[in-house]
Structure formats: C-alpha cells, structure tokens
Amino acid sequence: MSKVFIVHKKHVQAGLFIALAVVVGAVFLSWYDSKQAATVSGTISQPRIFKLVTGEYEDIGPDGKKIEAYRWDPGTIIVNKGEEVELQITGINGSTHPFVIEGLGIRGEVTKGKTTIVRFKADKTGTYPILCLTHTDMRHGGPMVGYIYVQ
C-alpha cells in the first residue's frame, strides 16, 4: 500500500518562512559575535590626541602698569593609565615657551605659529605638571602651568 502526501500552499509558505528566519538569525548572530569580539579584544593603535595652545591675558594693574599672564589651554588633561597620548601644542601668544613635564622626563619648546608634538605612554597614575621655563612666576607672566592627570 502506498501513501500519498499532499503538499498545500500553506505548507510551502511555512517552510520558506522558517528557512528565512534561520538564515536571518544566523547572519545576525555572526555579525553580533564579530562586533563583540572586536569590542572585547580590540586594541587602540592610535594615540589619544589633545590639542593645546599657549594663551596670554593682559590688563592694567591698579598701579597703572601693564600686567600679563600666560597659560596652557586647556589647563588640565585627564587620561587613563596605559593610554598612548599625543599632545599637539600650538604657539599662539608669546615668542617661545620652553617647557618640561615633571615626572615624565619630557622637555620641549613651543614657538609662536608652530605646533610641537609630544608623545608618551601614561604608565603611572598621578598628576604631572607642564611647566613653562620662561613664565615661572608673577614677575614673568606666570606661573604658566598645566596638568596631565593620569587616572
């Protein structure tokens, strides 16, 4: 005795719907897993870039004498321990600003109209002052100091 199977249109549609759902699900899972893998195991290959400028503020004091103050702008940079950091420091005001970054062993000089690039890895937590060696105190338009805070 032979058996006869009758395939109705609704059976074909249901089968196609299930096959489509399986394909869409597989594609989504494949895409989701690749995104998760990149997020978890990815490494930053480029340094984190900070753009700084030299700034000058002038005024007339109560005695009628010109007073001026220089600063790094922004005055504080916050980075994470282990980050590769690049400072792009552009000279806007003042002819030259030789500087040191205490605790990091970095020395450099910023001149008006040019950009000095400093790269380092933030290996240790702490606060590291950026000190201009020209503007060290009030008599010299300072202190011109900024801070790198490594958390």
Edge to edge, what strands does the sheet with 145-150 contain?
76-79, 145-150, 126-132, 96-101, 106-111
Phi and psi for 10 in degrees, rounded to 5?
-70, -30
92 near 54, Cβ under 8 Å?
Answer: yes
Phi first, then psi, for residue 52 (nearest 5°) are -120, 155
Q: Find the largest Cα–Cα distance for the chain.
A: 119
**pLDDT tens for each residue of 119-128:** 999 999 999 9
**74 upstream amide cis, omega within 30 of 0:** yes
Query: What is the bridge-based pairing of β-strands 76-79 and 145-150?
Result: parallel
Q: Which residues of the chain have pLDDT under 70?
A: 1, 5, 31-45
Name the strand (E) or helix (H) holding 35. helix 9-41
pLDDT of residue 116: 96
pTM, entire model: 0.66
For residue 117, the model assigns a pLDDT of 96
